[in-house]
Amino acid sequence: MATVPCALCGHPVNPESLGVYQRTRGWVQKRSGGGGHSVALPEREPEWAHSGCVDRASRGWLTQTELFGGKP
Ligand SMILES: [Zn+2]
């Protein structure tokens, strides 16, 4: 399969390579304490990203949340 542009950095990513992330839409149950992130009824979207890009993005988001004093 041909490579597609990474949804986060725009560089080519192979959707079949190990560790690649695919964007998924689904349902997450609200729980007390905010624990648990299992997705029910996931629908796969035609978007992929490098694992490194997703890791950086999630760390960046966490840092930003902390900087603004946000508490989930
Ligand atoms: Zn990327």
Instruction: Determine the 3-state secondary structure of 29 from DSSP.
Output: coil
Does some domain include residue 36?
A: yes
Residues 8-63 pLDDT 10s? 999 999 999 999 999 999 998 887 776 667 889 999 999 999 999 999 888 886 55
Does some domain include residue 72?
A: no
How far apart are the CA of 32 and the centre of ligand 1, in A?
A: 34
Query: CB count, 10 Å around CB of 7?
Result: 19
Does some domain include residue 63?
A: yes
Number of structural domains (the chain) is: 1
How far apart are the CA of 37 and the centre of ligand 1, in A?
A: 23
How far apart are the CA of 12 and the centre of ligand 1, in A?
A: 7
| Domain hosting residue 40, numbered range | 4-67
